[in-house]
């Protein structure tokens, strides 16, 4: 009876060791070597975060542009915008640009 338990213990130890090695090999494979590894998932998650940030920034730009378009629907504000941004002027009109120097200079 004792011999049977000893053989059973040895068999369990051997099989446990085999399963342990197989489990470690599986974890290494899934972490580093597989095409769907955890490293690739981490890189893809980083890229997703960057793209979401870029999308949010572009959505903010779209909102700014929409508000500018709504503002420029009025002919007076369109003229004001053109004069300010592109230095446009009417015929026989002189424009003087006055720049102030700061006190530090």
Render pLDDT for 26-79 as a digit per residue (tens, 0 to 9). 888 888 887 788 888 899 999 999 999 999 999 999 999 999 899 888 888 888
The predicted structure's pLDDT at residue 105: 58
Q: What is the pLDDT of residue 28?
A: 86
Answer whether 30's CB lies under 8 Å from 37's CB: yes
pTM across the whole model: 0.54
Which residues make Cβ contacts (< 8 Å) with residue 88, sequence separation at least 6?
82
Instruction: Say what the pLDDT of residue 58 is.
Output: 98
Q: Is the pLDDT of residue 99 over 90?
A: no
Strands (DSSP E) along the chain, which ranges? Answer: none
Mean pLDDT calculated for residue range 7-26: 80
Both tokens of residue 51? 């793209």
Between 104 and 99, the higher pLDDT residue: 99
């Amino acid at each position: 009876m004792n011999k049977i338990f000893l053989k059973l213990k040895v068999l369990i130890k051997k099989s446990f060791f085999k399963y342990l090695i197989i489990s470690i090999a599986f974890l290494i494979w899934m972490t580093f070597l597989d095409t769907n590894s955890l490293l690739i998932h981490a890189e893809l998650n980083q890229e997703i975060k960057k793209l979401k940030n870029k999308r949010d920034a572009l959505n903010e730009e779209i909102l700014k542009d929409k508000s500018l378009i709504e503002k420029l629907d009025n002919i007076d504000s369109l003229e004001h915008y053109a004069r300010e941004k592109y230095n446009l002027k009417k015929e026989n009109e002189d424009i003087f640009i006055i720049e102030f120097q700061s006190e530090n200079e």
